Amino acid sequence: AYPLGMFGGLFVWPKLSDSIGRRPIIVFSLFCSGVGFLLQAAVVSLGWSLWLFLALRVGSGALAGASPVIKACIADLAREDE
């Protein structure tokens, strides 16, 4: 479920980073991933529905799909001779 969400987020985050900027997208993505993992832990510990857990996994994956943005940031920071 998590990779499915990441696949969906791969199409959204790069376009948003071009319009908003990379830093806000990375911060937002990391924050929402953390919140998603906390919610997943709550669902497991409280014994709630498997479907809710899977939906949170998809959502967390979609919000964590900013890896192309991070890779573009690293490419911009690297020197030509590296």
For the stretch 62-82, pLDDT in tens is 888 777 888 888 888 887 776
1, 62 contact by CB (below 8 A): no
Return d(Cα 52, Cα 74) in angstroms, integer: 35
Return d(Cα 79, Cα 58) in angstroms, integer: 36
Query: With a threshold of 0.85, does the pTM exceed it?
Result: no
Quick one: how far is CA 22 from the chain centroid? 13
Which residue stretches of the chain have pLDDT < 50?
Answer: none
